[in-house]
A and B are shown apart, each in its own frame.
Chain A
Amino acid sequence: MTPPEPPSAGPSSGATGSPGREAGQWRKDLVEVARRRLRGGELGSASVIVALAVIWAVFESLDTSFLSPRNLSNLSVDIVGTGLIAVGVVFVLLLGEIDLSVASVSALAAAVFAAGNVRYGIPEVPAVLLALAVGAAVGAIQGFIVAKVGVPSFVVTLAGLLGWNGLTLYVFGGQGSIILDDNGLVVTLTHYYFHDVAVAYGLAAFGTAAYFLLSYRNARRRRAVGALPTRGMHEIALRTLALAAVSFAAAWTLNQFLGLPLALLIFLGFLVCLDVLLRRTTYGRRIFALGGSVEPARRAGIAVVSVRVSVFMISSTMAAIGGLFLASRITSASETASSGNLLMQAIAAAVIGGTSLFGGRGRTWSALLGILVIQSIASGMALLGIPVAVQLMITGVVLLAAVIIDTLARRTMHAHGWA
């Protein structure tokens, strides 16, 4: 029973405490809700999706192999390492802090794993755990100095950038790079594909169905207690259709090449789990609260220091995981892994995807959107044979544009009393 009437027209559940609420008022409220939502945030991720579509269209028109299954499949694996690092950066940005050490930490973790496994013969699983523990420990140290001692995170993690880079060189001991075991677990991470077409299609179907059922059940529950639905049934249907279209198109494309890459599956798994952590748990709520303003959160009895330290640990651990994927992709850990623009890419991905540099606003999915934009540009320009120098400049411009949009968004939000 889902009558289109507002709940006050039906047998009122009483619990809403507003038996006198008029149908007209209820409608007006709904319109108001929609208007405000549109102004705040939701437009942000929509514009990134549009930008991505434009980038893809431009490259496809310049070089028809851009949207080939082979290129897109490679793209979907190339985004994983940096994307995982970017997810960690999203957490730190939500606090209104920054972590400049992520690239160094990712290289350090890869070095620890490679040295442990290849040079000292530690089995792969303990070696991986060791690398992740190193990442977590780095985060704990940096987070403690930021949250407890009160040094700005910019400085602490800048010192970390240098220090962990030095430690990485020390671990390599002048060896330059260590080749990983070709048949090992870590190399498998980015080289395994589910050749069975059913896996990719099954995942697309499962994801779409799960999204629909959860949104639908949520809307029903809200309706049952007379709360305004966060999303109307039409909107749920539309979003489900859009999700189905994207995920089945992706599944079809991937199946044209080698099938669903294991790395992509893991990346999506991280995104979903961390999204739930951020938006559906007490812990995530606390991160957002601290990102907005520390003092009210402190007065609400939140353990400010431990939440902040834990966020830095998440960031460093995600950097370590990302580092293992990056090493896996090139089947070696090398001294130069953290050089180049890995750090900029990770931070840029988070910001381009719509996570605010000013704290308190963002989602894990912005890491996916942002890294897709960055890697698409890199991949398209590589196909066109555009020199790296130009690629760097264009990525710089895109990042600058994203930050300007972020700043302007914040300004308009202030103007509307939003931030």
Chain B
Amino acid sequence: MSTTPVLALRGICKHFGAVQALIDVDLEIHAGEVVALVGDNGAGKSSLVKVITGVGPADEGVIEWQGRTVRILQPRDARELGIAAAYQDLALCENLDVIGNLFLGREVRRLGVLNEVAMEQRTRELLNTFSLHIPDLRVPVASLSSGQRQGIAICRCLLGEPELILLDEPTASLGVQQSVQVLDYIEQLRERGLGVMLISHNLGDVKAVADRAVVLRLGRNNGFFDVTTTSQEQIVSSITGATDNAVTRRATPEWEL
């Protein structure tokens, strides 16, 4: 593509002890584009999300934000750039209530004290967007169903006007209606010109909303696909390793051996 990507990763490596979770991973996300990141369990998708959000910074590699090389060493760095994420493990504070969780780290204040009313109002608006019905916003989130908790994690990353949103299996525990709404909302985000990275094992969802799909396999890039022109089977065989795709060879000629 001709325009500068919002986010570009080049040669990202990340290891946990002896495990190489990410090896030389490249990725680009443009504004107004939904990129699906797919791969089998343990392929390194969540690790890549954590690299981008500064939760688990990369060992090696370059991160470019809107064409500028940046260092993301802690969560605050990513947040200041405008990166928000809904993590696979949700990362909610169990003893805080819904509002406390949504606004954690970016509380609304009035005369120096928390403005609970404003935060509650905004929370209700967001929850309504996804038809989440939570009667009492004051109970600890530990007492909510996992779908409700996931909804909160998604709502949380929409606060604070991010430019890039990373969704790690956002619909894994959502109901049918809520899943549809999340997918619809992803399309709205694209129309508003945001960059979205969607991680999902549901290739139907990927087909439905994503523009491009990036396949990770055993911590390495294993294919870049244009979703509209690629069949589901091609993506599946790339995920499972049945093919090492021609596109990949062209994109990263030296990726193996």
CB-based contact A418/B142 at 8 Å:
yes
- Contact of B138 with A37 in the complex, beta carbons under 8 Å: yes
Inter-chain contact A17/B139, CB cutoff 8 Å: no
> Across the interface, which residues of B come within 8 angstroms of A221, CB to CB?
117
Given contacts A16-B124, A285-B114, A293-B93, whether A302 and B105 have CB atoms under 8 Å apart is yes
Of B94-102, B169-177, B213-221, B231-239, the one touching chain A: B94-102
B211 at the interface (CB under 8 A from A): no
Among the listed B91, B121, B140, which residue makes an inter-chain contact with A299, where contact means beta carbons less than 8 Å apart? B91
What residues on B are CB-neighbors of A133 within 8 Å? none
Question: Is the interface on chain A under 10, 10 to 19, 20 to 34, or 35 or more residues?
Answer: 35 or more
Which residues of A have CB within 8 Å of B107?
282, 285
Cβ < 8 Å to A, chain B residues 220-248: none
Report B-chain residues with C-beta under 8 Å of the C-beta of A32: 135-136
Knowing A32-B135, A281-B113, A300-B105 are in contact, say whether A419-B92 is a contact too (CB < 8 A).
no
**Which partner residue on chain A sits nearest B109 by CB separation?**
A282
Q: Which chain B residues border A114 with CB–CB below 8 Å?
A: none
- Bound together, the chains give a CA A285 to CA B254 distance in angstroms of 49
Structural contact, B117 and A225, CB atoms closer than 8 A: yes
Question: In chain A, residues 271-302, which have Cβ atoms closer than 8 Å to a Cβ of chain B?
Answer: 276, 280-282, 285, 288-289, 291-293, 295-302
With most chain B CB atoms within 10 A of its CB, the pick from A218, A222, A289, A360 is: A289
Total A-B contacts with CB atoms under 8 angstroms apart = 114
For A1-45 the 0/1 string (1 means CB < 8 A from B) is 000000000000001111000000000110011001100100000
Interface residues of B in 97-145 (CB under 8 A from A): 100, 104-105, 107, 109, 112-114, 117, 120-121, 124-125, 128, 135-140, 142-144
Task: Verify B124–A289 contact, CB threshold 8 A.
Answer: no
B68 at the interface (CB under 8 A from A): no
How many residues from B make CB contacts under 8 Å with A?
A: 36
Closest to A291 in B: B95
Query: Which residues of the partner chain B approach A15 to less than 8 Å between Cβ atoms?
Result: 121, 125
Contact: B143 with A36, CB < 8 Å? yes
Complex Cα spacing A289 to B140, Å: 11
> Does A227 interact with chain B (Cβ within 8 Å)?
yes
Tell yes or no: B62 within 8 A of A by CB: no
- Residues in A with CB closer than 8 Å to B95 are 288-289, 291-293, 359-361, 419
Which B residues are CB-close (under 8 A) to A40?
A: 139-140
In the bound complex, do residue B138 and residue A230 qualify as a contact, i.e. CB atoms below 8 Å apart? yes
Any A CB within 8 A of the CB of B76 = yes
The contact of A289 among B74, B104, B136, by CB within 8 Å, is B104
Asked whether any CB of chain A lies closer than 8 Å to the CB of B75, the reply is yes
A228 at interface (Cβ–Cβ under 8 A)? yes
Would you call B91 and A295 a contact (CB within 8 A)?
Answer: yes
Question: Are A18 and B93 also in contact (CB < 8 A) when A29-B136, A297-B104 are?
Answer: no
**Bound CA–CA A416/B144 (angstroms):** 10
User: Judging by beta carbons under 8 Å apart, are A17 and B128 in contact?
Assistant: yes
Asked whether A18 lies within 8 Å of B124 as measured between CB atoms, the reply is yes
> What are 29 inter-chain pairs, A to B, with CB distance below 8 A?
A15-B125, A16-B121, A16-B124, A17-B124, A18-B124, A32-B135, A32-B136, A36-B143, A218-B117, A221-B117, A222-B117, A225-B121, A227-B124, A228-B137, A230-B138, A276-B113, A281-B112, A282-B109, A282-B114, A288-B96, A289-B96, A292-B93, A293-B93, A299-B53, A299-B55, A301-B79, A302-B104, A360-B94, A418-B143
By a beta-carbon cutoff of 8 Å, the part of chain A in contact with chain B is 15-18, 28-29, 32-33, 36-37, 40, 218, 221-222, 225, 227-228, 230, 276, 280-282, 285, 288-289, 291-293, 295-303, 359-361, 413, 416-419
